[in-house]
């Protein structure tokens, strides 16, 4: 952390970086930028290093995790690194038989149906995810002043994979369990909240500078159902980290109607997708939170003048709050030209540069 000398926060280091300062709504030299899925298939060096290693296996090799995490930092000069891992890594560590299938996503061998299935998701300790602890420590040493973001999947999004058995467009089985067996639903989400919290705590203790809670599929719910079935559990995760001393980011897709409720869950920063302009989002979330977003990842496939105009529009709308972290509204698409990502970083930095205080 930022050790105090004469009561003054230490200057330099990741805690004083443009990214962490924006998360804290402190302003700073420029608007920071990073990209969800910045490490991954858009990068040839990623495809090369992953050639003969499965996704879950690669998440369990600290040197490989460190290398993959650093690739986009070297290439694009982004303002933050995000740990290379997956939301189902702690679920596998908790004893659930699952795999990450290329082109599909997480697939669970025996989907959760009963109280006994919920009981089998056991609590994790640091030893169950020692490879994550090691990877974070390696990265913090390598990254210097660049902050590292840790992350976990939120209870609803994890529950969807566990109940459906894999990716789903409608989340129909998940909703059937939620409406039909609310006690079982809450028991499952309570366990997943503890799991996410424990997984994030390992990353915080190892030195990450911020954490992001991914509730990617929460936008499938109405606000009323979100409040009833999801908000208490995401609140448990985020409030469990209130004493961690690092900013907490809370992200979902298609959440325009949920932004106010998601803000109430307690994060310092709320992620916004491209459907909601950032100034509108700030009004819904409240000006006491920072926002992160919100370029449509598909815009990166358009001609550069279109990309440039969209980046400038988003930076202008982001001025409605002192805390804007530039990002995409969802992850980088695999077919994205990495040189466009590099240009976006340079443009965000150039357009948002503020004179020194
Ligand atoms: O750079 C980063 O953002 C960090 C790495 C990261 C991965 N997964 C690596 C990964 C992060 C933050 C995640 C989170 C994650 N995983 C989420 C939440 C974020 C989101 O996208 O909404 C979700 C829903 C998952 C579940 C999951 N894992 C999906 C949907 C997929 C994609 C399936 C596919 O192949 O298209 C995965 C696999 C996965 N996780 C890949 C990567 C780089 C692709 C697998 C590969 O490269 O072989």
Residue 230 has pLDDT above 80, yes or no: yes
The pLDDT of residue 77:
98
The pLDDT of residue 2:
41
CA distance 103 to 67: 22
- Mean pLDDT, the chain, rounded, equals 96
**pLDDT, average across residues 41-68:** 97
**pLDDT, average across residues 214-234:** 98
DSSP 33: B
Question: Strand, coil or helix: what is 328?
Answer: strand
Give the torsion sign (CA, 48, 151, 20, 329). Answer: positive
Binding residues, by number, are 37-41, 86, 161, 216, 330
At 150-178, the pLDDT tens digits run 999 999 999 999 999 999 999 999 999 99
Q: Give the burial class of 151: count Cβ atoms within 10 A of its Cβ; 0-12 exposed, 13-18 middle, 19 or more buried.
A: buried
Both structure tokens of 256: 């325009």
**pLDDT, average across residues 194-218:** 98
List the one residue out of 293, 292, 236 whose CA is nearest residue 264. Answer: 236
Q: How many CB atoms lie within 10 A of CB 102?
A: 10
| Weakest-pLDDT range from 2-6, 43-47, 139-143 | 2-6
Q: How many CB atoms lie within 10 A of CB 250?
A: 28
CA angle 320, 323, 328 (to 5 degrees): 90
- 37 is known as an active-site residue: yes
Mutate to test the pocket of ligand 1, among 41, 81, 87 (most ligand atoms within 8 A of CB): 87
Residue 115 has pLDDT above 50, yes or no: yes
The pLDDT of residue 332:
98
**pLDDT, average across residues 248-266:** 98
Residue 126 has pLDDT above 80, yes or no: yes
Alpha carbon of 28 to ligand 1 centroid (Å): 31
The pLDDT of residue 4:
42
> Closest Cα to atom 31, ligand 1: which residue?
105
Both structure tokens of 349: 């930095």
Binding residues for substrate, by number, are 37-41, 86, 161, 216, 330
The pLDDT of residue 46:
98
**pLDDT, average across residues 295-310:** 98
CB-based pocket (< 6 A), ligand 1: 36-41, 50, 55, 82, 84, 86-87, 100, 102-106, 151, 157, 214, 216, 331
- 288 is known as an active-site residue: no
**pLDDT, average across residues 328-354:** 98
CA distance 215 to 282: 19
What ipTM does the predicted assembly reach? 0.94
Alpha carbon of 244 to ligand 1 centroid (Å): 25
**pLDDT, average across residues 108-113:** 98
Contact predicate 219/253, CB 8 Å? yes
Mutate to test the pocket of ligand 1, among 53, 91, 100 (most ligand atoms within 8 A of CB): 100
For the chain, list the domains and their CATH numbers.
Answer: 36-292 (3.20.20.210)
Alpha carbon of 4 to ligand 1 centroid (Å): 38
> Closest Cα to atom 30, ligand 1: which residue?
105
Whole-number percent of the chain with pLDDT over 90? 94
Of 79, 86, 268, 273, the active-site residue reads 86
Alpha carbon of 86 to ligand 1 centroid (Å): 6
Residue 340 has pLDDT above 70, yes or no: yes
Q: What residues pair up with 324 in beta bridges, in sequence order?
A: 291
The pLDDT of residue 27:
86
**How would you classify the pairing of strands 8-9 and 4-5?**
antiparallel
- 24 is known as an active-site residue: no
Question: Strand, coil or helix: what is 42?
Answer: coil
> Closest Cα to atom 9, ligand 1: which residue?
86
Give the torsion sign (CA, 190, 195, 196, 200). Answer: positive
CA distance 221 to 239: 22
At 72-95, the pLDDT tens digits run 999 999 999 999 999 999 999 999
**pLDDT, average across residues 339-356:** 95
Q: How confident is the model at residue 149 (pLDDT cuts 50, 70, 90)?
A: very high
Residue 345 has pLDDT above 50, yes or no: yes
The pLDDT of residue 336:
98
Q: How confident is the model at residue 356 (pLDDT cuts 50, 70, 90)?
A: confident
**Helix, strand, coil abundance in the chain, percent, nearest 5:** 50, 10, 35
Mutate to test the pocket of ligand 1, among 38, 39, 40 (most ligand atoms within 8 A of CB): 40
**pLDDT, average across residues 24-53:** 96
Of 21, 25, 50, 289, the active-site residue reads 50
């Amino acid at each position: 952390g930022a050790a105090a000398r004469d009561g003054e926060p230490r200057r330099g280091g990741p805690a004083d970086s443009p990214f962490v300062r924006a998360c804290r709504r402190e302003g700073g030299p420029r608007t920071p930028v990073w990209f969800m899925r910045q490490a991954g298939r858009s990068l040839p060096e990623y495809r090369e290093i992953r050639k003969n290693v499965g996704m879950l296996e690669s998440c369990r090799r600290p040197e490989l995790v460190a290398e993959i995490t650093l690739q986009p930092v070297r290439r694009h000069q982004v303002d933050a690194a995000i740990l290379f891992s997956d939301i189902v890594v702690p679920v596998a560590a908790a004893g659930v038989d699952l795999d990450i299938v290329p082109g599909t996503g997480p697939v669970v061998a025996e989907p959760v149906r009963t109280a006994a299935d919920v009981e089998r998701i056991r609590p994790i300790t640091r030893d169950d995810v020692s490879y994550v602890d090691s990877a974070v420590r390696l990265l913090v040493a390598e990254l210097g002043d660049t902050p590292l973001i840790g992350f976990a999947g939120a209870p609803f999004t994890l529950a969807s994979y566990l109940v459906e058995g894999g990716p789903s467009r409608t989340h129909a089985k998940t909703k059937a369990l939620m409406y039909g067996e609310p006690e079982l639903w809450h028991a499952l989400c309570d366990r997943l909240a503890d799991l996410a919290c424990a997984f994030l705590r390992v990353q915080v203790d190892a030195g990450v500078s911020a954490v992001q809670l991914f509730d990617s599929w929460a936008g499938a719910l109405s606000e009323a159902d979100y409040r009833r079935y999801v908000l208490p559990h995401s609140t448990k995760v985020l409030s469990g980290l209130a004493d961690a001393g690092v900013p907490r980011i809370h992200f979902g897709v298609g959440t325009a109607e949920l932004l106010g409720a998601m803000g109430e869950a307690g994060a310092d920063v709320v992620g916004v997708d491209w459907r909601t302009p950032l100034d509108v989002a700030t009004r819904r979330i409240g000006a006491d939170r920072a926002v992160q977003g919100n370029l449509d990842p598909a815009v990166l496939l358009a001609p550069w003048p279109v990309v440039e105009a969209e980046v400038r529009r988003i930076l202008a709308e982001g001025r409605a709050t002192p805390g804007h972290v530039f990002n995409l509204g969802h992850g980088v698409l695999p077919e994205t030209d990495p040189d466009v990502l590099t240009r976006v970083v340079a443009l965000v930095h150039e357009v948002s540069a503020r004179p020194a205080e």
